[in-house]
Amino acid sequence: MPLQSSLISLTEGLITLVLPAAGVYALWAQEELVYYGWADATTGLRRALESHLGDAAPPCTGRATHFQIEFASLILTPRERCDQLLWEYFRATGRYPPCNLPRGPVPIKPANAGMDRPRRGPH
């Protein structure tokens, strides 16, 4: 199930109203969902959202205009809930949000990696 909270303008003033608790968040660039993220209790949602503001923001999420949040539940960890949101988004659209894609090339492990040496020991 997608996040149910309203879209909130991604401004420093509104982020300061967010509790510094664990949970998940979505970043939007106008009408487009661009990123799902999560925060543990140490980082907190407020600090996680602040990291997407200003000159220090990652290039992709720096264009975000709105956010949604969901506080952590007792059933799923924030990371598990974020994975669930990403999977649901992928199933619905056939792709991931653009800012959740890996940066740079993704290393591909050859199919026979680790099989180049003969095995020793009992057969």
Span of 29-33, 54-58, 107-111, 117-121 with lowest mean pLDDT: 117-121
Q: What pLDDT shows up at residue 21?
A: 96
Q: Which residues contact 46 (CB under 8 A, 6 or more apart)?
A: 15, 16, 18, 19, 20
Q: Specify the pTM.
A: 0.81
Identify which of 15, 20, 3 has the alpha carbon closest to the alpha carbon of residue 54: 15
**Do the domain assignments include residue 19?**
yes
Cα gap 84→73, rounded to integer Å:
13
Query: Per the domain annotation, does 106 fall within a domain?
Result: no
Residue-wise pLDDT for 42-54, tens only, equals: 999 999 999 999 8
Residue 105 falls within a domain, yes or no?
A: no
- Sheet containing 23-29: order of strands: 8-9, 66-71, 23-29, 32-39
The string of pLDDT tens digits covering residues 63-89 is: 999 999 999 999 999 999 999 999 999
Does residue 121 sit within a domain?
no
Q: Say if residue 112's pLDDT is above 60.
A: no
CATH, residue 49: 3.40.1440.10
Residue 113 inside a domain? The answer is no
Amino acid letter, 53: L
Number of domains observed in the structure of the chain? 1
Domain with 17, as residue range(s), is 8-100
